[in-house]
Structure 1
Amino acid sequence: MPIRRPADHGVFVYGSLISPQDITGVLGKEAGVDHGLATLSGWRRTWNVCTDNTTSRKVRYYTPGSEERPPVQVLFLNLERAAAATVTGYVIVVDAHRLAALDAREGNYDRVVVTDQITMRATARPNVVWTYVGKADRAATARAAILRGSARIRKEYLDTVVEAFAGNDDLTAELEQITRPPPAPVESLDRVAEG
């Protein structure tokens, strides 16, 4: 559904934040309200940002049904610059309070302005559009983990993304392009977050 009114801030989401549960729970929006399909030019979607399970204290991952904390780096979707590429996602209207909450939640990412690189598929658009791009050190750790074989994609995260993208051929095709084959093994991991 298109954005119904002009707004000051929008966030371009391209991964798990597309899921209706995250739109409602994290972004405080009713699914289908105040967001619209959009394309981000000059970027591509990748699996190259991670939480290092050997050092992270805020979020930890465990082998299901155990207290074993495997020495892995858990990969998530990210954006990286690529001149001729595009990424399909959604621009969701947010207020300053939600931006601050997203900044706190997205610990592996920095918020960057992408207003001039967004093409909305609706008439109204926010004055400023942000997105989250992996911190340089988290992306470097992810790339090194992929090369040495210690990177993992959490099955539960991938399932959320696949479900969120279902019904949109552009999103599904883009995800399949970077996940067949995946850059790392996909396995179930229990997630425990502090505070």
Structure 2
Amino acid sequence: MTQDPHFFGYGSLVNRQTHVYGGARPATARGWRRLWRHSGDHEVAILTAVPSPGSEIEGLIAAVPGGDWVALDAREAAYDRLIATLDITPPDAPAIAPEIAIYSIPADKHPAAPAPRAILLSYLDVVVQGYRAEFGDAGVTRFFDTTDGWDMTPILDDRATPRYPRAQRLTAEETELVDHHLARLRVARLSD
């Protein structure tokens, strides 16, 4: 019996409300860190994972039934899908899926942006909502602390009219949690 390949999601894919991949499980990828990438091809900053020895990020692994990557590759079109040797926890992950992909944007994949791009708050809200559901408030703190680029990347406050296509409604507590971490990291905020 052939096992389905899996993906490791570390951004919006952590929010189960944004996809249809059942059986997702919390996992940790060692040797990776998140980074806000600024591309001349995109109007907003894009969250990516980059190799980083000694670092680790939490996320979800989920099966891609039948190895049908078409829909997920379309969703993650800005990224390269890497079939990587990932040091994944839980320890049984390799038994669950001998092949685990991670989506990453190499530094030279897109032309550099002339200036830092803003992060869509509606996107960040979705990511934080997913991390809180999977890893609690401490997991949200770890998300912010294991993501680079907050110091040069402003937030575009589009909560009133979300631009992110998979935007979700947040509770007041979730909104306060996002706002708390942005204030803690002194992230600049722009009005939409």
- State TM-score, norm by structure 2: 0.68
The code of the aligned residue for 1:134 comes to: I
Aligned residues between the structures = 158
Aligned 8 A contact 1:44 1:85 in 2: yes
- The answer as to 2:11 corresponding to 1:18 is no
- The answer as to 2:127 corresponding to 1:161 is yes
Richer in strand (by share)? 1
3-state SS of paired residue (1:91): strand
User: What is the alpha-carbon distance in structure 2 between the residues aligned to residue 88 and residue 78 of structure 1?
Assistant: 13
User: What is the alpha-carbon distance in structure 1 between the residues aligned to residue 61 and residue 92 of structure 2?
Assistant: 10
The offset of 1:157, in angstroms, is: 0.3
Identity of aligned residues (%): 29
The offset of 1:116, in angstroms, is: 4.1
| Counterpart for residue 186 of structure 1 | 155
Aligned 8 A contact 2:5 2:65 in 1: yes
CA distances 1:42-91 after superposition (whole Å, capped 9, x unpaired): 111111254734xxxxxxxxxxxxxxxxxxx3012111111111111111
Structure 2: any 5+ residue segments left out of the alignment?
166-192
Q: Which has the higher contact order (CA 8 A, sep 6+)?
A: 1
The offset of 1:110, in angstroms, is: 0.4
CA distances 1:126-178 after superposition (whole Å, capped 9, x unpaired): 12101100143356625x532xxxx1000110111111111414631232213
- The answer as to 2:107 corresponding to 1:131 is no
| Counterpart for residue 25 of structure 2 | 36
Aligned 8 A contact 1:12 1:130 in 2: yes
Structure 1: any 5+ residue segments left out of the alignment?
1-5, 54-72
- State TM-score, norm by structure 1: 0.68
User: What is the alpha-carbon distance in structure 2 between the residues aligned to residue 183 and residue 175 of structure 1?
Assistant: 17
Structure 1 pair 127–111 and aligned structure 2 pair: CA distance change class (3 A): same
Q: Cα RMSD over matched residues?
A: 3.0
